[in-house]
Amino acid sequence: MAHGGSGDGEPSESSGVPDTGERYALTEALWEELCASAKAGLRLPPAKYAKEPSARKSHLVLQYPGADGILFLDAVVKRLAQELGADVVTLNAQDIAQLCSEQDLEDVGTTSPIRSLGYDVYRPTAPESWQDDSMGEGDDEAEVEISPRSLRSGLKGPRFITIESSREAGDIPLPGILGLKSLVSAFNGPVDGSGASSNPTDRAEDRRLQLINELISSASGPKRKSTAEVSLDKPTEFKGSENKTPVRDVIVQIQDYGEIQATREGARFIYLLQKAIQDRRRDGSRVLFVGTASQDAASESDASRLMQNAFDDQFSQMLVITPAMGLEAAEKIFTDDRKKRTLDINIRHIQDMLRTRLDNTSTLEDDIFRNRAWPLDASVVKESGLDERYWPYSQVHWATTLALGSLGSDELFGFQHIQKGIEMMQRTDRIKNDWMQEKAPKTKHAETGNDRERLLSSLRKTCNSHEKKLLNGVVDAKSIRTTFSDVHVPPETIDALKTLTSLSLIRPEAFTYGVLATDKIPGLLLYGPPGTGKTLLAKAVARESGATVLEVSGSEVYDMYVGEGEKNVKAIFTLAKKLSPCVVFIDEADAIFCSRTGASSRTSHRELINQFLREWDGMNDLSAFIMVATNRPFDLDDAVLRRLPRRLLVDLPLEQDRLAILKIHLKEESLDSSVDLAELARRTQLYSGSDLKNLSVAAALACVREENDLAAQHQGDKPYQYPERRTLTWKHFERGMEEISASISEDMSSLSAIRKFDEQYGDRKSRRKKSPGWGFTPASTEEASSDAARVRT
């Protein structure tokens, strides 16, 4: 546990070793803000206003906008206590669990669910083989977007307050296990009917309040020569003015405030703690509650937004605390802090487990409960992850089981048994994992699916509400059967799609220099008549590109509330960065990117397109690619077209193309000799690829109906035997052509508009040469063409 120093840079007399120097630093402006807030919080309001909301909201929650700042905030609180001449009682989840469990054992002889608070708060962040089933995914916690004001030393001439690793901080250490029992038994007695509540829940809360008051009272007495001299046998009086010795101010600090509040038992304890503090303040005691929290920050949020919706409540005000240190120095120090704290928490869990499973302390060779500086080999600590991740309950229990099982009948339990148990667990884990990998060498596709599920699971925990709505659009490539070989389009179209979406994954070295290292083609437009395979091409990209595909529709962008549509647009791009490399596919894009000059030029639509264009221009990295498909490209806004420089026409198929498409759809069917696919392709003019698919399905259904009719007409003792595989005849295709007609006609207005758009915005192949005639068609030109309905003829 870090301790706040005196701030003068001199070695601490009580530490026994020279001070290691200034580990942390704060800017003077931030330090003054913190001191002023704490001094104001310690001031007592007039008695008649003590219950007013403004008077109750006197306490603090200190927030470090990062993942590993708890020890830093501890040092800040200890230094603050020195500055104010106050004592500090620091509690974390393990302290609360141990105190309350000891009280429950003294009270009713059994513990309550609060015993697992340490495991609920300090949980592994990544999926572990040791993760308990009962712990599961956990409830979705409220998301708090926070941002450091700055970790950089870019301010001109800042003044700093240094925070050292001193031990003279006025901190009130929690007693050991024997002290805990003394503390609990000091006021724990049989609860009789005199003044005690008959309700078991109320009685339990009363005893919790007694415990909390005893903790605060042990810190609020006169200044001591040593914190070890604090008497735990008799509560310190805090009511009235009978004590002649001045009572010191007390700061009650709760580590990991947000995580503890997120648990049921932890939130109940903090509620009772806040209630006890309010009662003592009404009785004249100067007690300040300080919660400390350290959580990762979202880069796009700011401090002002953080101050509005973070840990503020009716009891406390939140302050963002950032160190006056360079990013590299802060990362190095905080990484070291994380390792120390993780190791400390894991060792304490093992101590608590051993305490409940060892018969008595006389069997100990080493004093394993004295402190948590265990002499374990560095290799054992590293391989077991003791300082890298929090161990779940099952792993702690198994390690202690193996340690106790390695104890001989005539041996005393010591550190060597603990180390042996951890080594045994690691060794057997490696053996089992190696065997499982050899047993299932062909399960890489399953592992890939699991990786995708892990990614989506982790994103659900870190994404905001607008990004979560889009997660359902993340395409599962393994569930898609369509490949480029299943789509018949010109080879240059497939080549362009592969080049733009997956070439950077196949040849990453080609994108490390020159123009490709800094710039890219930002988007691609697929346009053409309906049913020509634009969406099918997008599915093939999702299946074969190797990039994650995020599919977005208009319904996921528009919202009934003003301003929400713009947030949905922003979420598309922020989520795409998290899914990098990512292809964002927007189907039926005319619903979103319709021109702002038309009849749909309402304010919300204009703002949505403006937001899309801003985000599109801000896409300065190579992580996301926008692919757009539409049947009405002529409706798109001009600014959107400028950001889609690569435009690919997916036209109606020619006769030979129709033949190839029919072969693709009928490759698994048995065809009668009477079926001539070339003749069928000739007779299906104006049919799109979708129409040809529907024709093939209709022919197969006609064959099935015919088999059913034959089965119904069958007579005889034996049941009708259906053929093993159906055989499609020419009659079935004729029936299909009667049911399925072309969905496109030559005089469609949209077809003419697409043709005009292609002439104006398409690639060079679409540029038509002007007719040499003057008001008439030359005689050499055919009067009618079978491809007259195509966009390009």
Q: What percent of the chain has pLDDT over 70?
A: 75
> Furthest-apart CA pair in the chain: how many Å?
120
**Is the predicted pLDDT of residue 694 greater than 80, yes or no?**
yes
Task: Please write the tens of the pLDDT for every residue from 321-376.
Answer: 999 888 888 888 998 999 999 999 999 999 999 888 887 655 777 778 888 888 88
pLDDT tens-digit profile of 701-732?
A: 999 999 898 888 888 888 888 888 999 999 99
Tokens (6 digits) for 646 = 């690569």
| Euclidean distance between CA atoms 556 and 577, whole angstroms | 18
159 has pLDDT over 80:
no
Pick the more confident residue, 45 or 220.
Answer: 45
Backbone angles phi, psi at 784, to 5 degrees: -140, 140
Average pLDDT over residues 762-770: 58
Task: Please provide the average confidence, as pLDDT, over all residues in the chain.
Answer: 77
722 closest CA partner among 735, 711, 732, 738: 711
Q: What is the mean pLDDT of residues 671-700?
A: 91
pLDDT for the residue numbered 141? 40
pLDDT of 307 strictly over 70: no
Q: What is the pTM of this model?
A: 0.51
Distance of CA 426 to the CA centre of its chain: 29
Q: Where do the structural domains in the chain lie, given as residue ranges?
A: 22-47+58-122+156-193+200-325, 338-439, 459-649, 655-713+723-739
pLDDT at 753 over 50: yes
Residue that wins the pLDDT comparison between 477 and 141: 477
Please provide the DSSP assignment of 405-431 as one string: HT--TT--B-HHHHHHHHHHHHHHHHH
Q: What is the DSSP letter of 649?
A: E
For the record, the structure tokens of 755 come out as 């043709």
Distance CA 262, CA 123 (A): 13
Q: Domain 655-713+723-739: which topology?
A: Helicase, Ruva Protein; domain 3 (1.10.8)
Class (C level, CATH) for 459-649: alpha beta
Q: Which pLDDT value is given to residue 455? A: 73
pLDDT at 679: 92
Q: Confidence class of residue 174 from pLDDT cuts 50, 70 and 90?
A: low
Residues 418-442: tens digit of each pLDDT: 889 999 998 888 888 888 877 765 5
pLDDT reported for residue 72: 93
Average pLDDT over every residue of 302-316? 59
pLDDT surpassing 50 at residue 145: no
Q: What is the mean pLDDT of residues 294-301?
A: 60
Residue 615 pLDDT greater than 80, yes or no: yes
What's the pLDDT tens digit per position in 235-265? 334 344 344 456 789 999 999 998 998 889 9
Query: Which pLDDT value is given to residue 328?
Result: 84
